[in-house]
Amino acid sequence: MYRFYKQLIFLSCLLIMLQSAVFAANGMAIDPVDCLGCHSSKISAAHFGASAHGKNGCTSCHLEGVNLLKHMTGRVKLEKVNCARCHQKEYGEQAGSVHQQRGISCTGCHSDIHTSTSWNKDKRVVLQKCTGCHPKKKQFFTSVHGKAVFAGSKDAADCSDCHGLHAIKQVQSAQTTEGRMFHSSVCIKCHANEEMMRRNHLTATAAETFLENYHGKGYRLGSPGRAAGCSDCHTAHAVLPQADPASTVNKKNVVAVCGSCHTNATPLFAQYFAHGSHSDRKNYPLLYWTFLAMTGLLVGTFAVFWVHTLLWMFRGFVENREKQAALLEDKVHHLPGANKLYYRFQKRHIFLHFTVIISFLGLALTGLPLKFSDQVWAKTLMSFYGGVHYAGLIHRGCAILTFYYFLGALLMSIDYLIIRKDIEGNILQRLFGPDSLMPNFRDLKDVIGMVRWFLFKGEKPVFERWTYWEKFDFIAVFWGMFAIGGSGLMLWFPEFFGHFLPGWVLNVATIIHSDEALLATGFIFTVHFFNTHGRPEKFPMDFVIFNGQMTKEEFIEERGDQWKRYEELGITEKFQVTKPSGILYDFFFKGFGFTAVFIGLSLVFFMLYAFFSK
């Protein structure tokens, strides 16, 4: 009797399978129950039905099984399932991933497709999957990110947020640019999202302040090779709160972290504000007030001198019209020997000014891209130099040149005040005499006279050897060397200064160096260029600084009191030039001068674009 029932059940199954084979031959789907009649020992019908693939038939993946008779008789064997038929995007991403390169296919993570259920964006599933093969990364579980994930946060980072879900790339060596960029880019992706940060009660300025300091600027400019990225300080997986004793940014550990790059870092050095913001008055009042003071200096200086420039420009055009009218009416007084040449500058002065131009343009061309690191033109310039590191070498080379010409100016000043025997008077008399660049009461009188002339209230002042704007330029070099030079040395040798100054001094130095440099470049390329080359009576260039020569007419018109003094002393002819500068000399220096002016004005345009494009 038992044997009879067993044969009956077998015949029933065979009839069902034959029926399914007929259905399949006519394009009809095979019921999974039919397959499970033979495969139930390996596959649970209940589990498969509840899985992510439960709504599909078996032949949706096992195409060869459509011909059930051939499959049952062994004439067709089931091939390896091709997941790409349904999951084209994911399969394509995985095909180019590091997993595929190492022989890990879809089933490496999705081990049993018959029981796999949808992860429903539950990041805990990702963590458990990844750490199954990467057990050392279980330290991530105790990090701020891992704890938040297990607490149910949908914003907290899991493995896939940094490495991707399917298109997982090999993490490049920290010695490569791609590897260095990765160390920050994955962090910035979330931490730059201010809404997400506020939603999770986290600081919303971490990414912004990082991108505004030297480390972040290197990242922005695409060459972070010698600057710390986010994970260099916070680590990649064991990110912990600062208050945690095990945190890399805890007060007890931060010196060692800084020391991994700055080998001579001290506890004082480690007081540097890695995420200090000059706009955060509450937490960083010193930075706030320093920035406010520098901004006030910058705005005040430009306000005064740009108004001065505009007034001079208009009044100069009027004066040129008056001269043109006088020429047409033949009312011009013809000066005897008007075209005779006299020297104003000696060769050492010309060489020193040439040095100033080279160093200043080099500093501006390499410093401004760092200041405006978010601009496309800044990235283009940095790429031309070969990256931030090489731009820094050029910048420091030009800084050395700056210290050289500053030393030259000091030596010439000492020579003039103390050593020279052809000048009468003691040190004070020389210091405030007519040949000195030290401001005096006459300059105040000249300023008032120029303003009256601007406003058509009086005659144009007659100047001595140095005008008040030339003296301002000279004195600005000394101020600039203390402000820009001093702060620049701190930023150049931070570990040295970190032995006796707290690290936050470097934050202050960065603000001073940045804003003072902006003031210097803006002043030179707008005010100074106008005073020397752009004013109507000199446009397009005053060549005297390159050949040192000027005509008698220029001498008397521009520095009438100096000419008068020389005549009274009977030394006028001592300054007469017997031979003008050569053609090749003039060609080279005029080309150099126009190139310098073009570069300066181009940088002004880029700076203005950067300000107005934010």
pLDDT tens by residue, 46-98? 788 788 887 777 877 887 766 766 677 677 777 778 888 888 898 888 888 88
Q: Answer yes or no: is pLDDT of 197 > 70.
A: yes
Q: Locate 603 and state its tokens.
A: 């940088």
- Does 43 or 438 have the greater pLDDT score? 438
Q: What share of the chain is helix, strand, coil (3-state, %, to 5)?
A: 65, 0, 35
pLDDT band at 26 (very low <50, low <70, confident <90, very high): very low
Q: Answer yes or no: is pLDDT of 29 > 60.
A: no
- In order, the DSSP letters of 486-541 are HHHHHHHSHHHHTTTS-THHHHHHHHHHHHHHHHHHHIIIIIIHIIIIISTTTTT-
pLDDT band at 593 (very low <50, low <70, confident <90, very high): very high
User: What does pTM read for this prediction?
Assistant: 0.86
Q: Answer yes or no: is pLDDT of 25 > 70.
A: no
Flag whether 15 is in a domain: yes
Cis-peptide into 285, omega within 30 deg: no
What b/e readout covers 156-178, taking b as 16+ CB neighbours within 10 angstroms? bbbbebbbebbbbeeeeeeeeee
Flag whether 18 is in a domain: yes
Least Cα distance to 270 among 257, 283, 282, 284 occurs for 257
- How far apart, in whole angstroms, are the C-alpha atoms of residue 557 and residue 553? 6
As a whole number, the mean pLDDT across the chain is 89
Flag whether 14 is in a domain: yes
- Please report the pLDDT score of residue 24 as a whole number: 46
With a CB cutoff of 8 Å and minimum separation 6, the contacts of 254 are 248, 270
Phi then psi for residue 593, to 5 deg, are -65, -45
State the Cα angle at 282 between 281 and 283, rounded to 5°.
Answer: 100
pLDDT band at 407 (very low <50, low <70, confident <90, very high): very high
Domain that holds residue 373: 285-612
- How far apart, in whole angstroms, are the C-alpha atoms of residue 488 and residue 482? 9
Q: Answer yes or no: is pLDDT of 348 > 70.
A: yes
Q: Answer yes or no: is pLDDT of 172 > 90.
A: no
How large a percentage of the chain has pLDDT more than 70?
93
Residue type, 261: C
Q: Answer yes or no: is pLDDT of 8 > 60.
A: no
- Please report the pLDDT score of residue 84 as a whole number: 83
What pLDDT digit, counting tens, does each position of 313-338 carry? 999 999 999 888 887 787 777 788 89
Is residue 369 within 8 Å of 382, Cβ to Cβ? yes
Is residue 78 within 8 Å of 64, Cβ to Cβ? yes
3-state secondary structure of 550: strand
- Does 273 or 28 have the greater pLDDT score? 273
- Please report the pLDDT score of residue 274 as a whole number: 93
- How far apart, in whole angstroms, are the C-alpha atoms of residue 93 and residue 100? 10
Burial class (CB in 10 A: 0-12, 13-18, 19+), 372: buried
Neighbours of 27 (CB within 10 A): 7
Q: Answer yes or no: is pLDDT of 308 > 80.
A: yes
Flag whether 569 is in a domain: yes
pLDDT band at 173 (very low <50, low <70, confident <90, very high): confident
What pLDDT digit, counting tens, does each position of 373-400 carry? 999 999 999 999 999 999 999 999 999 9
Burial class (CB in 10 A: 0-12, 13-18, 19+), 112: exposed
Number of alpha carbons in the 13 Å side-chain half-sphere of residue 196: 14
* CATH number for position 466: 1.20.950.20
Q: Locate 69 and state its tokens.
A: 């008779």
With a CB cutoff of 8 Å and minimum separation 6, the contacts of 565 are 434, 464
- Does 551 or 323 have the greater pLDDT score? 551
- Please report the pLDDT score of residue 95 as a whole number: 87
Q: Answer yes or no: is pLDDT of 523 > 50.
A: yes
Q: Which of 79, 100, 130 is the last residue of a domain?
A: 79
Q: Provide the residue count of the chain.
A: 614
Q: Answer yes or no: is pLDDT of 18 > 60.
A: no
Least Cα distance to 598 among 354, 401, 361, 397 occurs for 361
What pLDDT digit, counting tens, does each position of 483-512 carry? 999 999 999 999 999 999 999 999 999 999
Flag whether 344 is in a domain: yes
pLDDT band at 1 (very low <50, low <70, confident <90, very high): low
- How far apart, in whole angstroms, are the C-alpha atoms of residue 244 and residue 239? 10
Flag whether 342 is in a domain: yes
Q: Answer yes or no: is pLDDT of 14 > 70.
A: no
3-state secondary structure of 549: strand
Flag whether 93 is in a domain: no
- Interval 185-203 mean pLDDT: 93
- Please report the pLDDT score of residue 461 as a whole number: 95
Is residue 337 within 8 Å of 549, Cβ to Cβ? no
Q: Which of 42, 57, 79 is the last residue of a domain?
A: 79
Q: Answer yes or no: is pLDDT of 5 > 70.
A: no
With a CB cutoff of 8 Å and minimum separation 6, the contacts of 191 are 197, 202, 206, 207
- Number of domains forming the structure of the chain: 2
Flag whether 345 is in a domain: yes
Q: Which of 79, 111, 127 is the last residue of a domain?
A: 79
Is residue 261 within 8 Å of 494, Cβ to Cβ? no
Q: Answer yes or no: is pLDDT of 16 > 60.
A: no
* Packed helices 504-522 and 285-328: angle between N→C axes, nearest 10 degrees: 10
Burial class (CB in 10 A: 0-12, 13-18, 19+), 584: exposed
